[in-house]
Amino acid sequence: MLDDRKLAVLRAIVEDYVSTNEPVGSKALVDRHNLGVSSATIRNDMAVLEEQGYIAQPHTSAGRIPTDKGYRLFVDRLSAVKPLSGAERRAIETFLNGAYDLDDVVGRTVRLLAQLTRQVAVVQYPSLTRSSVRHVELVPVASGRLLLVLITNTGRVEQRVIETQNDLSEESIAHLRALLNTCLDGIGLGEVPVAVAELPQQVPADDRPVAASVLSVLLETLVERHEEKIVFAGAANLAAVDFSPSLRNVLEALEEQVVLMRLLGETGDSSTLTVRIGTENPDEGLRSTSVVAADYGVGDQTLARLGVLGPTRMDYPSTMGAVRAVARYVGQILAGS
């Protein structure tokens, strides 16, 4: 168990190494931090920290750098999430409020996170299994053609053109539209097939072929978009970091959707903020990186996750603050969509 002084020394080493990317020596700690003890005492504390695996000596340098274990202790016990400034919060809100649909929300979010943190940003689309129907629209676009528009509570808008052999009157289209919305409003997308099973029997016999076509396209749309989708941005930020031979592994890992899904981890609740450091990451290609991720959602419903990936030598308090704030704003944008 480390005492308060050794914890303070570890905090100072982490902060200085993140700031300078240079191994930290006892003299530098005395000069930069008000630790209230001599260089000799700090050297003794550093020896204990090294013996217990919290810091290490790279090469023959006299200085020390944090290990994954040291960063973990820093995140768990020593760091506080750094709140964003008022200007940063206003900039995030303004940027995200300009989004016009779900794809735009996700695209803006991933670019914003990459810019705020100078890391690689990763955003997961809301899962269809956690989405529900908000509205269904049917619009005649030409003779024998209808436009089906499906809008979910997560802001996703799906549009499909339906070819029909028979034209429907405006009254018949309005009736079918009303039936669909009465039947599906608030229904989870995974429950739609069961919910619409008896719907064709509720329309006049002459309109049933068109109703069947509409339902067929609706169900095909849900099947087509059932896969999870993840986007990332800011890979160029890795160029500023010395990953040595592991950079290729990191870039290859980022190209795999399955790896990105595993990277973000499992959803918990809307307040969940997780940090995985170095060897805690499940993919070998990412053992030289750290991941900060958070859930986002609407109200109490968690929809998906977003986060950033960067070197283990990252500014954890600022990165955690940015990820948490952006996740909160995304949830607010989707709730109002």
Domain range list for the chain? 4-78, 86-127+228-335, 129-224
Number of residues that this document lists for the chain = 337
Residue 99, pLDDT score: 83
* CA atoms of 232 and 107, how far apart (whole Å): 9
What is the average per-residue pLDDT within 195-208? Answer: 84
Residue 257 and residue 283 in contact, taking contact as beta carbons nearer than 8 Å = no
Residue-wise pLDDT for 168-198, tens only, equals 788 888 999 999 999 998 888 878 888 888 8
Architecture of domain 4-78 in CATH? Orthogonal Bundle (1.10)
Architecture of domain 129-224 in CATH? 2-Layer Sandwich (3.30)
Residue-wise pLDDT for 281-320, tens only, equals 888 878 889 999 999 987 777 888 999 999 999 999 999 9
CATH of domain 86-127+228-335: 3.30.450.40
pTM as predicted: 0.77
Give the H/E segment covering residue 158.
Answer: strand 157-163
* CA atoms of 313 and 241, how far apart (whole Å): 9
Residue 329 and residue 92 in contact, taking contact as beta carbons nearer than 8 Å = yes
